[in-house]
């Protein structure tokens, strides 16, 4: 699983960085986004729904928010 460190970034940067990283990934690859902005828990899943990617898991551990997603290519 690829990992994107978006900690200490505020909206909309975590979503923009996620979008940029997903462009480099193949269909079916997974990405874990790490963030400290709580808005990521809503923003990244919403972006995934719009773009057809699958959210595998969201949560928080040790003060770091994570969103795991699977890339889908048409």
The residues annotated with a catalytic role in the active site are: 11
Q: CB 26: neighbour CB atoms within 10 A?
A: 7
Q: CB 11: neighbour CB atoms within 10 A?
A: 14
């Amino acid at each position: 699983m690829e990992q994107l460190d978006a900690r200490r970034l505020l909206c909309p940067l975590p979503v923009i960085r996620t979008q940029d990283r997903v462009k480099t990934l193949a269909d079916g690859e997974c990405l874990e986004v790490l963030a400290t902005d709580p808005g990521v828990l809503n923003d990244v899943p919403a972006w995934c729904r719009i773009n057809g990617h699958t959210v595998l898991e969201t949560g928080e551990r040790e003060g770091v928010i994570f969103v795991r997603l699977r890339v889908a290519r048409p």
